Amino acid sequence: MAKLIVFLATLAVLLLLTEASIYRTTIEIDEENPRRQTGQCQEQIHRQHSLSHCQDFMRQQMRGRRDDDSQGRREHLEQCCDQLEQLDTQCRCQGLQRAVKEQQQGQRRGQQSQEGRRMLDVARDIPSMCNLQPRECQFSSPRVWF
């Protein structure tokens, strides 16, 4: 009986040691961490004043195509391209989406979603107009974030 108790006690200790060694904490540092990347993008976008020149360009595009305004439109596009160029490639579409959101703040709900879709269409092609990568931005549905 004593041998059985010693054997069971030894077995219990072995099981505890085995169980304890199964749990191990591993910490990996991932340079491509999306949360970290999002924070870096937000910083870059903030430094570029939320792409204010892109907002100006989109506003002008939304007003229509008047020839008398083409010089101002070109200037805003060039300045927008300069701002986008200062962002990392993976941050450009996020920056344009934020610029559209900021343009839509203060508008009524119905106006927001209709204008938001049109403005997203303009914003989608801005990288291509600037000859930057990515050539086109894919945005989520405006109903989700307006």
**pLDDT above 70: percentage of residues in the chain:** 73
**Residue 96 tokens, joined:** 């344009």
Q: So what's the pLDDT on residue 26?
A: 40
CA neighbor of 126 nearest in space, from 67, 73, 81: 81
CA neighbor of 98 nearest in space, from 76, 123, 127: 123
Q: How many CA atoms lie within 13 A of 73 on its CB side?
A: 16
Q: So what's the pLDDT on residue 105?
A: 80
Domains observed in the chain: 37-130 (1.10.110.10)
**Residue 58 tokens, joined:** 């989109």
pLDDT tens across 26-75, in order? 434 344 455 556 789 999 999 999 999 999 999 899 887 655 567 888 99
State the pLDDT confidence band at 110, using cuts at 50, 70 and 90: low
pLDDT tens across 112-134, in order? 677 888 899 999 999 999 999 99
Q: So what's the pLDDT on residue 20?
A: 56
Q: What pTM does this model have?
A: 0.68
Asked if 96 and 44 count as a contact pair (C-beta separation under 8 A), the reply is no
> What number of other Cβ atoms are within 10 A of residue 2's Cβ?
6
3-state secondary structure of 86: coil
**Contacting residues for 54 by C-beta, under 8 A, at least 6 apart:** 76, 80, 83, 84, 95, 96, 99, 123, 126
Which of the pair, 29 or 7, is modelled with greater confidence? 7
**Residue 94 tokens, joined:** 């996020």
Angle at 131 between CA 120 and CA 50, to 5 degrees: 50
**Contacting residues for 90 by C-beta, under 8 A, at least 6 apart:** 37, 41
- How far apart CA 96 and CA 102 sit, in angstroms, is 10
Which of the pair, 136 or 7, is modelled with greater confidence? 136
